[in-house]
Amino acid sequence: MKTPNKIMLTGNKAAAWGARMAGVEYVPAFPITPQTEIVETLAKWFADGTLQGKFTNMDSEHSMFMAAGSAGATGVRVFTASSSQGILHGLESLYTITGWRVPMVLVNVSRALATPITLEPDHNDVMSTRDCGLIQLHAETCQEVFDFILMGYRVAEEVCLPVLVNMDGFYLSFTREPVLIPDEQEVRSFLPLYTATQPVFQASRPMARASAVFGGATYTSFKLQQELACRNAEGCFNRVAQDFEKHFGRLYGPVETFHLDDAEYVFVMSNSFATKGKSAVQKLRQQGIKAGLLKLRLFRPFPGEAIASALAGHAKVAVIDQNLAPGMGGITYPEIVTSLYAREDRPEKILSVIGGLGGKDMDDQDFMAIIENLDKLDGGSPLYLYDEKDVSGFNRLQQIAELKEAES
């Protein structure tokens, strides 16, 4: 193994480098903050000949995902990226192309959804794609973004489904971290240049794809094939991860554990805020509180067994959702609780926590509030990480807007 280059990259640049090293041939693109840096970078590389193929400026995310999908069905390695409203605008296309069973990798740079419109991250955008049949990998670091793209193509091309790699806007997309970029030959031995193994559109092979169906049984046949392919993707991911470790020395399980073995309190987190969670765990341990963390990486297919095995036997678990399904609460919470239901040694308490909405920071006090809630018999669930100082901050804004008379 040649010594890889270590360079400082933002999450966005790491994504662009991932696509570049994967040898992508086609990028249909549409700008949206905070993702734009990815497609700008790729546009330059296609324009100056660094990358061979085509970069096409599209007119919307709906169009972009359609073009990505149909190009995937025509036999080229496709990459694209989006975020937030773009994901929602393109959601119909995402459902469509997962049904087409085409391989590709797309990056979502998480950003909260309107209304109100904002730029900072939470995960309602990526969660909106939860049920459309995408494989989802959630990245905490710039290195994970890069690595997951390479791994993503292996998985996508084996199970014939698109892979979405998620990272948080701003917190990761614009944060520079050292990223190991392996030698191109080493990448090629892990991920060869693309040759489609499935039938693709060309004159000698006429075929009808995505034809209409009549009757629920025919529809169900297709949907169950998609379901099986997506479920197979977990085993595929694990095999690819082992091969990735052989080539590059980094092993990625479907979940990551941090000080979990003897933990009495476990935070379940994902993406860049897991770094904040890990820091909180270390501080809590210094205070003698046995905290630990479970980080979700593979979110679709849902690795229920891996998650349940990691959480079973721990007394108190807090599932921190940086998303909100109004009227229900955290979106991942019920999935995690379900995975534990059949376990006799399931946690005594599994708390739903809603935090980090619209990029709202999570500090040590927030993690302490979670610990305190976990210690109470009836702490109230979900726990919203929104406290007195947040209320007074909002009141100040209203005063500025003269919605309320100044209190003084």
**Which residue's entry shows tokens 């009757």?**
215
**Which residue's entry shows tokens 């610990």?**
371
Would you tell me the crossing angle of helices 11-21 and 36-47 to the nearest 10 degrees? 40
Locate 160 and state its tokens: 């014939």
Q: Is 191 helix (H, G, I), strand (E, B) or coil?
A: coil
Alpha carbon distance 356, 384 (integer Å):
10
Asked if 57 interacts with another protein (CB under 8 A), we say yes
Q: Which of 49, 116, 206, 326 binds another protein (CB under 8 A)?
A: 206
Alpha carbon distance 239, 242 (integer Å):
5
Alpha carbon distance 39, 183 (integer Å):
23
CB closer to another protein, 164 vs 280: 164
Alpha carbon distance 135, 233 (integer Å):
8
Asked if 209 interacts with another protein (CB under 8 A), we say yes
Q: Is 125 helix (H, G, I), strand (E, B) or coil?
A: helix
Size of the site for another protein (CB under 8 A): 45
CA-angle at 36, arms to 30 and 39, nearest 5°: 70
Amino acid in position 237:
F
- Write the CA distances from 279 to 175, 214, 317, integer angstroms: 17, 54, 17
CB of 40 vs another protein, minimal distance in Å? 18
- Does residue 177 contact residue 145 with C-beta atoms inside 8 Å? no
Which range, of 156-164, 206-214, 241-249, 385-393, touches another protein by CB under 8 A? Answer: 206-214
Which range, of 213-221, 280-288, 310-318, 373-381, touches another protein by CB under 8 A? Answer: 213-221
Q: Which of 5, 60, 197, 220 binds another protein (CB under 8 A)?
A: 60
Q: Which of 32, 68, 172, 308 binds another protein (CB under 8 A)?
A: 68
Locate 50 and state its tokens: 């660094």
Amino acid in position 314:
H
Cis-peptide, bond into residue 182, ω within 30° of zero: no
Half-sphere exposure of 209 (CA within 13 A, CB side): 19
Question: Where in 27-56 is the site for another protein (CB under 8 A)?
Answer: 28, 52-54, 56
Closest CA to 326 of 378, 271, 369, 384: 384
CB of 207 vs another protein, minimal distance in Å? 6
Asked if 162 interacts with another protein (CB under 8 A), we say no
Residue 66's φ and ψ, nearest 5 degrees, are -65, -45
Q: Which of 3, 115, 185, 204 binds another protein (CB under 8 A)?
A: 204
Asked if 66 interacts with another protein (CB under 8 A), we say yes
CB of 83 vs another protein, minimal distance in Å? 19
Asked if 59 interacts with another protein (CB under 8 A), we say yes
Asked if 71 interacts with another protein (CB under 8 A), we say yes
CB of 46 vs another protein, minimal distance in Å? 11
Asked if 212 interacts with another protein (CB under 8 A), we say yes
Question: Where in 83-102 is the site for another protein (CB under 8 A)?
Answer: 92-93, 96, 100
Question: Where in 281-310 is the site for another protein (CB under 8 A)?
Answer: none
CB closer to another protein, 218 vs 282: 218
- Does residue 97 contact residue 162 with C-beta atoms inside 8 Å? yes
CB closer to another protein, 191 vs 311: 191
CB of 284 vs another protein, minimal distance in Å? 49
CB closer to another protein, 16 vs 73: 73
Question: Where in 218-237 is the site for another protein (CB under 8 A)?
Answer: 218
Asked if 203 interacts with another protein (CB under 8 A), we say yes
Binding region for another protein (CB under 8 A):
25-26, 28, 52-54, 56-60, 62-64, 66-76, 78, 92-93, 96, 100, 201-214, 218
